[in-house]
């Protein structure tokens, strides 16, 4: 009869509505469970502690539930090919990144299981510290200007007292001017000088400290020439 709804049709409609309701409820429950799981392990308070040498960085974060994560990182946001992972479950997480380049920008994200956490779809980033300059002071050797014996300054024949880059008689004069005392070297025996014929003395190749000032130099050559005239 027209106008009447078939009982079988009504039953099918009711069953269909019930099945659809159960499916919707189940999907919502699954979403809720998954959302809860993600929120429990989601990294909170993500920070970076940079090493002073510019070669290390430590990524830290916390979670509401114990988990074990890893950090995927690289020098570009599109190439996070390096990885460092935790070795145990924890709620306070620390992952060390090593062998980094000083003064370089790195991008990273945190992976926990199959889930990826970053800065709203964009990898986090940090820049390592630059190389520290060598703080060791450079010591420039300087000439010793005097040697103390008691209260007296002893002038030697090997020190550039006037700091002109040449060790000569002017250095002894500078030392004596500052109150130093010249220690003379032992001159050649007088007998050797007396027995040498003046005409045979080679003043150009003189090896005698004629003025006993501790240095054989041009002044001794002058004294040598004077001795040849006697």
Longest dimension (CA), the chain: 166
Split at pLDDT 50, 70, 90, the class of 191 is very low
Summarize the confidence of residues 15-41 as an average pLDDT.
Answer: 66
Per the DSSP assignment, residues forming a β-bridge with 108 are 73, 124
How confident is the model over 48-63, as pLDDT tens digits?
Answer: 999 999 999 999 999 9
Give domain limits for the chain: 43-127, 143-183, 184-230
Residue 98 has pLDDT above 70, yes or no: yes
Task: Give the dihedral sign, CA 94/99/103/108.
Answer: negative
Q: What is the band of 193 on the pLDDT scale with cuts at 50, 70, 90?
A: very low
Q: Is the pLDDT of residue 113 over 70?
A: yes
2-25 mean pLDDT: 70
> What own/partner pairs with CB < 8 Å and gap ≥ 24 does 151-160 have?
152/180, 152/181, 153/178, 153/179, 153/180, 153/181, 154/180, 154/181, 154/183, 155/180, 155/181, 155/182, 155/183, 155/214, 156/183, 156/214, 157/185, 157/214, 157/215
Q: At the fourth CATH level, which superfamily is domain 43-127?
A: Immunoglobulins (2.60.40.10)
| Model confidence pLDDT, tens digit, residues 118-161 | 999 999 999 999 987 655 555 444 444 444 444 467 777 778 87
Per-residue confidence (pLDDT) for residue 146, from 0 to 100: 43
């Amino acid at each position: 009869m027209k106008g009447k709804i078939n009982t079988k049709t009504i039953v099918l409609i009711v069953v269909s509505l019930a099945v659809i309701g159960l499916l919707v409820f189940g999907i919502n429950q699954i979403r809720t469970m998954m959302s809860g799981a993600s929120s429990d392990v989601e990294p909170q308070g993500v920070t970076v502690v940079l090493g002073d040498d510019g070669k290390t960085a430590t990524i830290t974060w916390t979670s509401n539930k114990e988990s074990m994560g890893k950090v995927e990182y690289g020098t570009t946001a599109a190439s996070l090919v390096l990885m460092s992972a935790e070795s145990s479950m924890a709620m306070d997480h620390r992952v060390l990144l090593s062998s980094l380049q000083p003064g370089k920008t790195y991008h990273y994200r945190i992976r926990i299981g199959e889930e990826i956490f970053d800065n709203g779809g964009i990898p986090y980033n940090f820049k390592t510290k630059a190389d520290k300059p060598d703080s060791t002071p450079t010591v420039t050797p300087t000439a010793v200007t005097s040697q103390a014996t008691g209260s007296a300054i002893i002038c030697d024949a090997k020190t550039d007292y006037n700091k002109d880059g040449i060790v000569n008689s002017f250095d002894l004069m500078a030392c004596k001017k500052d109150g130093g005392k010249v220690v003379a070297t032992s001159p050649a025996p007088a007998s050797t000088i007396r027995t040498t014929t003046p005409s045979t003395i080679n003043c150009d190749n003189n090896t005698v400290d004629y003025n006993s000032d501790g240095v054989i130099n041009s002044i001794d050559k002058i004294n040598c020439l004077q001795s040849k005239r006697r």
